[in-house]
Structure 1
Amino acid sequence: MKALYRNLRIKHKLFILISFVLLAFSGGCLAILQYAFKVYNEEFYRQSAQALNVSSNGIENELRKMERLSYRISTDPMVQSYLMQIQKSVSLYQQFVLRANLKERMIEIAGTDKYILSAHMFDVHGNESAIGNQQIEISRERMEQIKAEASLEEGGNRWVFPDGSDRALIAARAVRSYENLELERLGTLTIRLDLEEIFSDYSRGMKEGGSFLIWNGEQQLYPHDEKISSKPLRMNLEHSEGYQIVKIEGDRYFVTYAPSGHTEWTYMILTPYDNLFQTIVLVRNAVLGVLAASFIIVMFIAFRFARSITIPIERLNMKMKKVQLGNFQYSEEEEEEDRRLPMDESGQMHRNFRMMLQRINELIKENYESQLVMKDSEFKALQAQINPHFLYNTLDSIHWTSKMSGELQTARMAECLGYLLRNSISFQEPIVSLEHELKILDSYITIQKYRFEERLNFHNDIPTELYSCTIPKMTLQPLVENAIRYGVEQQIHGCEIRISAVVHQNQLLVTVSDDGPGMEHAFLEKLRKGDAAPRGTGIGLRNIQERIQMLFGDEYGIYIESERFKGTQVQIRLPYERGIGHVQSAVGG
């Protein structure tokens, strides 16, 4: 994948980059939007749970109140007395009077509670004593069910849930005699509660549009009509309380649930999700639409932007291919296209490329003209070789004539002068071995010794193992010539000139020193800067310096040290390079 990406065209890379940035931005927006939904859900759950807790606590307080009321009735001394008398009485009239007294006592205890529909006391003979404004006739089967469930609690309260014949919630309790702790069964008390009224009163704090539900396991206690399908709500809840979003008959609902602390019931608030979150859903859809539209627009702009960058580069690439094929000409159409380009980096590249081609064409023309000049110069140089050859032949004739006449000194000087002349005007080899350079220097010293005799004392201290090192041609002779000119000629007594060489840090250091009168500081500075003109017609130090730096670099060259009346020392620094050739014995001395 990395290699594939690297080989893609620039406009495709820009397109991928902008797409990645836009997708990352869109993903971030969606993540923030999702987080906002989650925060809103949790905040709505917090408010719903608070309302649910208020309602459920109110309902459970009423249920506890009913339990206490049923306990109070069943343990009331007068009620206990009436039931025990009914149990022992044989006379029907006496039983009738006792039941009437029992009703009056029950009215005194529970007759004012707004949620009680009716209260029924069944004695051991199965006779009923009922109070309340909404009394009903309880069937024998229903009564047997109530008695059976109440007996399971052994005197405790038992909640009997509504059935098809009666929609009231019943608090049932077996009445037992507590006199002398006999716990003899005296009857069964049932209190019918108006479940709708209780739930209606305590669910008024619910949000508008929300529904209050009570479940006992999988049985829906409230509301009774079951307008909402209960099947999706019969689920395994992960926690005893919390919230979920469920789908019922195509509609989504926000369900907040909490368990009862007093019964096995589960309280729920069911709120239509789409109505509740309609505004947020619209905002979300609007954001998604804006992101989608922005993505399309930005991708179109990115494509145009990438093309605006890559098209000039592609055109420049085509021009380079033309140059690669040897076409260095710039057409008028291409020049007109360059003028229409903006002067950004791409336009400047086109302009620089056009100027580079123009310069290349100029260099080609100049090189062609230079080649013509060089050919002409070579022809003239070939013609000019007649004069040096004539001079060589003349010197050679003087050499042999002097030998024949016994003038050996003159013959030797003519031989050395001819050798010097041949090497000074021959530039076929700009770099020679140190051995060859010392031979040239030896010829020059020979001539100068005939001139100055004992006043010139020359020493060669260069080790023979360095003779194969390379050095620019005609480097040592001008330095020794300067030593003679500024040393020997300036003194009446003799002057010692010494040449030596060492290798230090991969550099060849050749030193020419003399014990002459030295130089003034001002003249030495001019000499170092190359401002001092050479005396006579010799090769100046500046010429040698420029040749060395041109061949090897600026870190090499000539370094001069001199002090008045203490002589002069000139050091040549060259790269240490050994040539191939035979090293002969020391030259001069």
Structure 2
Amino acid sequence: MKAFYSNLRIKYKLVGLISLMMLVIGLATYFVMRFTFEAYDDEIYRQSASALNSASLGVEKELRDMEKLTFTIATDGSIQRYLDVIKQGGSDYDNFLVAISLQERLLSIGGFAKYVLSFHLIDVYQREYKHGANANMLSAARIEEVIAETERNTGGISYIFPENGDGALIAGRQIRQVRNLELDILGTLAVRLDLARLFRDLAGPVNQGDGMFAILAGDGQSVYPTNPSIDVSVLNVSHGEGSGYEVREVNGERFFITYVPSSYMDWTYLNIQPYDAIFRKTETAKQSVFVIYLIVFLLVLLAALWFSRSVTSPIERLSDRMKRVQMGHFEYALLPGEREPAMDEAGLLHRNFRIMVERINELINENYVKQLAIKDTEFKALQAQINPHFLYNTLESINWSAKAVGHKQISVMVESLGYLLRSSISGKEPLVPLQEEMATIGHYISIQAIRFEERLDFRSHIPARLNDCLVPKLSVQPIVENAIQYALEPMIDTCVITVEAEESGGIMRLAISDNGPGIQHDVLARLNSGELVPRGTGIGLRNIDERIRLLFGEGYGLEVGDNKGGGTRITLVLPVEMRDPHV
């Protein structure tokens, strides 16, 4: 895997790295959103549970008050006496008077109950005595249901759920004779409660919007509402589960349900809200975040591709040009449609490579020209080559012929010329002892003395300790030759040419001076620059200066100036390097 990653191209590495970063950011965003939405769900539950608790506490308070009211009525002495009279049997007139007395007593006890629709007393003969603002007659089936439920509780309160014909919740209780604790059944009390008003007052905040407040009995039967918009019995939320919330699907529609068990009854209070209505914005936010993230991921991916291409394309083009150079193509030209390199690091690489290629191309051309020149020079040298032995033998023959006829000057000139030729042709050492260089100058002066006679006065002042000091070969003779050409020839009087040497601090200063007309400043500049080439051997002062610098370093070379007594003084500045005389 590591080798695979290492061999990937840079642009794919960049795209992969940016994609990985986006995935990490996406996962982090997902977990943050998940945590946020869960916290949001919990907050909705807390608010819903708070409202539901408030409503349930109010309802249960009213139910406890109703339990106290029914107990007060069932144990009231007057009501028990009236019912006992009815139970004993009497005339219709007596029963009529008792019925009026019962209604008056019910009015005096519970006439101000806020949520009571009506009071109903049922005697042992199942005759009904009612009182209230909405005192409708109970159906026979309803009466039988009330009697049956209250009998099971034997004096305790019972709640009879609403039915289609009667939407009120009935709080029922058996009335038993409390005198002397006889506990004989005297009748049944049924109090009809206005559930709509009760829940409207107490569960108003819960019923806001599309929400619905509901009560489930322990067996799953709906206590309220009597005709719910959804079948709440299928929710299967029981008292034992405790309070909480969940999302249930009923008839293809999801609902957010908060439930709180009753501490008073075997009931469960429900707050049912349409899930989509509550979480529509949340779902929209989730989808929007996902879509936005997907769009941003694609845009970032495209940007990464563009960025990686902008980084790697110049490198790839540079690699292609390197391959062309490797194949021997040293020309550097922009491809069709290619722009000038930018000023960034890749552009700097391109410019440096272009400069390098152009320099290599120049060096190749220069080397090619030099090779042609070398070949031409070698060819010309071969054409002009003369056998040195033949030349030396010829000069020796001339020397002996001149001695034979008594021409001493011709003999001296021939001997000196042979020495000069032998010195220039033989030997490849770049450095020679100073005394050997002075011997060469002596033979050259011998030839020139025959020509100029008393007009040439050559003097040499070389300390013996410097005779073995190394100097570049043929470095002094060309300067002496220049002195003869530029100082002696224009003069009528005797020209004094002096060669002298001195040593100080490991540096030897070898000076060649004359008393000629000297060198004008503009001519001196031309000599130093190499523009003016002296006649004779063709070796200029600049050439000698460059040879000295190449052999000994930049601290050495030639110094050209005026002589103190008039004329020109040229000084060679050289290091004191001795050769072993026994070598």
Tell me what 1:83 maps to. 83
**In 2: Cα distance, 1:332 partner to 1:538 partner:** 59
Tell me what 2:258 maps to. 256
What does 1:28-177 correspond to in 2, within 5 Å?
Answer: 28-89=28-89, 91-177=91-177
User: In 1, are the aligned partners of 2:164 and 2:226 still within 8 Å (CA)?
Assistant: no
User: In 1, are the aligned partners of 2:58 and 2:202 still within 8 Å (CA)?
Assistant: yes
Tell me what 2:578 maps to. 536
User: In 2, are the aligned partners of 1:328 and 1:361 still within 8 Å (CA)?
Assistant: no
Tell me what 2:13 maps to. 13
User: In 2, are the aligned partners of 1:338 and 1:347 still within 8 Å (CA)?
Assistant: no
Q: Are 1:305 and 2:347 an aligned pair?
A: no
Q: Deviations over 1:489-539 (max 9, x none)?
A: xxxxxxxxxxxxxxxxxxxxxxxxxxxxxxxxx99xxxxxxx996663249
Q: Are 1:190 and 2:190 an aligned pair?
A: yes
Call closer, same or farther: CA 1:226–1:187 in 2, change over 3 Å.
same
What does 1:163-562 correspond to in 2, within 5 Å?
Answer: 163-206=163-206, 207-217=208-218, 218-230=220-232, 233-234=235-236, 239-324=241-326, 326-327=327-328, 329-333=330-334, 340-358=340-358, 536-538=578-580
| Structure 1 residue 171 displacement after superposition | 0.9
* Paired AA for residue 175 in structure 2: V
**In 1: Cα distance, 2:36 partner to 2:325 partner:** 61
Call closer, same or farther: CA 1:359–1:193 in 2, change over 3 Å.
same
**In 2: Cα distance, 1:250 partner to 1:128 partner:** 46
Q: Deviations over 1:21-54 (max 9, x none)?
A: 2233344344444444333333333222222222
| Structure 1 residue 70 displacement after superposition | 0.5
**In 1: Cα distance, 2:108 partner to 2:233 partner:** 45
**In 2: Cα distance, 1:350 partner to 1:232 partner:** 77
| Structure 1 residue 236 displacement after superposition | 6.9
**SS, match of residue 342 in structure 1:** coil
**SS, match of residue 170 in structure 2:** strand
Call closer, same or farther: CA 1:4–1:134 in 2, change over 3 Å.
same
**In 2: Cα distance, 1:158 partner to 1:225 partner:** 22
Tell me what 1:430 maps to. none
**In 1: Cα distance, 2:291 partner to 2:61 partner:** 51
User: In 2, are the aligned partners of 1:254 and 1:273 still within 8 Å (CA)?
Assistant: yes
| Structure 1 residue 73 displacement after superposition | 0.6
| Structure 1 residue 149 displacement after superposition | 1.7
**SS, match of residue 120 in structure 1:** strand
* Paired AA for residue 216 in structure 2: W
**In 1: Cα distance, 2:237 partner to 2:153 partner:** 30
User: In 1, are the aligned partners of 2:239 and 2:267 still within 8 Å (CA)?
Assistant: no
* Paired AA for residue 110 in structure 1: G
**In 2: Cα distance, 1:224 partner to 1:145 partner:** 17
Unpaired stretches in structure 1, ≥5 consecutive residues: 377-385, 387-424, 426-521, 524-530, 540-589
Tell me what 2:410 maps to. none
**In 1: Cα distance, 2:580 partner to 2:19 partner:** 74
Q: How many residues align?
A: 395
* Paired AA for residue 53 in structure 1: N
* Paired AA for residue 212 in structure 1: F
* Paired AA for residue 163 in structure 1: E
| Structure 1 residue 245 displacement after superposition | 3.4
Tell me what 2:513 maps to. none
User: In 1, are the aligned partners of 2:237 and 2:268 still within 8 Å (CA)?
Assistant: no
Q: Decide which structure has the larger Cα Rg and report it.
A: 2
**In 1: Cα distance, 2:278 partner to 2:139 partner:** 45
* Paired AA for residue 243 in structure 1: Y
| Structure 1 residue 169 displacement after superposition | 0.8
Call closer, same or farther: CA 1:128–1:90 in 2, change over 3 Å.
same
CA RMSD of aligned residues (A): 4.0
**What TM-score does the superposition give when structure 1 sets the normalisation length?**
0.58
Tell me what 2:491 maps to. none
**In 1: Cα distance, 2:64 partner to 2:265 partner:** 10
**In 2: Cα distance, 1:147 partner to 1:250 partner:** 41
User: In 1, are the aligned partners of 2:324 and 2:330 still within 8 Å (CA)?
Assistant: no
**SS, match of residue 340 in structure 1:** coil
* Paired AA for residue 45 in structure 2: Y
**In 2: Cα distance, 1:57 partner to 1:84 partner:** 38
| Structure 1 residue 163 displacement after superposition | 2.3
Call closer, same or farther: CA 1:347–1:79 in 2, change over 3 Å.
same
User: In 2, are the aligned partners of 1:338 and 1:350 still within 8 Å (CA)?
Assistant: no
**SS, match of residue 172 in structure 2:** strand
**In 2: Cα distance, 1:355 partner to 1:18 partner:** 35
User: In 2, are the aligned partners of 1:213 and 1:269 still within 8 Å (CA)?
Assistant: yes
* Paired AA for residue 4 in structure 1: F
Call closer, same or farther: CA 1:238–1:116 in 2, change over 3 Å.
closer
* Paired AA for residue 11 in structure 1: K
**In 2: Cα distance, 1:63 partner to 1:79 partner:** 22
Call closer, same or farther: CA 1:137–1:236 in 2, change over 3 Å.
closer
**SS, match of residue 245 in structure 1:** strand
Q: Deviations over 1:302-355 (max 9, x none)?
A: 21111111111222222333444x425234346x99971113222222233334
Q: Deviations over 1:231-259 (max 9, x none)?
A: 66345799522233344455443332222
**In 2: Cα distance, 1:237 partner to 1:71 partner:** 27
**In 2: Cα distance, 1:125 partner to 1:331 partner:** 123
Tell me what 1:575 maps to. none
Tell me what 1:466 maps to. none
**In 2: Cα distance, 1:367 partner to 1:538 partner:** 39
Percent identity between the two aligned chains:
39
* Paired AA for residue 101 in structure 1: S
* Paired AA for residue 272 in structure 2: L
**In 1: Cα distance, 2:239 partner to 2:138 partner:** 37
| Structure 1 residue 277 displacement after superposition | 4.4
| Structure 1 residue 274 displacement after superposition | 3.5
**In 2: Cα distance, 1:2 partner to 1:223 partner:** 68
**In 1: Cα distance, 2:62 partner to 2:159 partner:** 13
User: In 2, are the aligned partners of 1:312 and 1:346 still within 8 Å (CA)?
Assistant: yes
**SS, match of residue 343 in structure 1:** coil
**In 2: Cα distance, 1:236 partner to 1:318 partner:** 78
User: In 2, are the aligned partners of 1:56 and 1:267 still within 8 Å (CA)?
Assistant: yes
User: In 1, are the aligned partners of 2:163 and 2:226 still within 8 Å (CA)?
Assistant: no
**SS, match of residue 259 in structure 2:** strand
Q: Are 1:23 and 2:65 an aligned pair?
A: no
**In 2: Cα distance, 1:282 partner to 1:161 partner:** 41
Q: Deviations over 1:380-401 (max 9, x none)?
A: xxxxxx9xxxxxxxxxxxxxxx
**SS, match of residue 19 in structure 1:** helix
User: In 2, are the aligned partners of 1:73 and 1:79 still within 8 Å (CA)?
Assistant: yes
User: In 1, are the aligned partners of 2:256 and 2:273 still within 8 Å (CA)?
Assistant: yes
